[in-house]
Amino acid sequence: MESGKGDLRDCVTAYVQSDPQKKADHRLVFRESGPATPGGQPRRELLAIKPRQGSGNIYEHTCARLNRHPNDRQPGLNRFGDRPASS
């Protein structure tokens, strides 16, 4: 996640293009969790879909939805490793 957008280290962002000739116009934020059963596949929960342009920041929206303060670093969220804030 982008620096200054809150602690979403357990989340990933995907981009969707409605027109293959143009840049992606929507962002999707997923939270990944471990498999439901040993040896199973990881699970992803869709948390937010928002246009890349316009009002409303998807990362701030996701932090609010998860009740995470944008400036707090939460323990135990390093599912993808302990990335520096600038990653």
Mean pLDDT, all residues of the chain: 81
Residue 46 pLDDT grade (very low, low, confident, very high; cuts 50, 70, 90): very high
- Name the pTM for this structure: 0.72
pLDDT in tens, 3-39: 446 788 888 899 999 999 999 999 999 998 888 899 9
Q: How confident is the model at residue 86 (pLDDT cuts 50, 70, 90)?
A: very low
pLDDT of residue 79: 65
The pLDDT of residue 57 is above 70: yes
**Which residues contact residue 52 at a Cβ distance below 8 angstroms, ignoring those fewer than 6 apart?**
15, 23, 24, 25, 26, 27
The gap between the terminal CA atoms of the chain, to the nearest Å, is 7
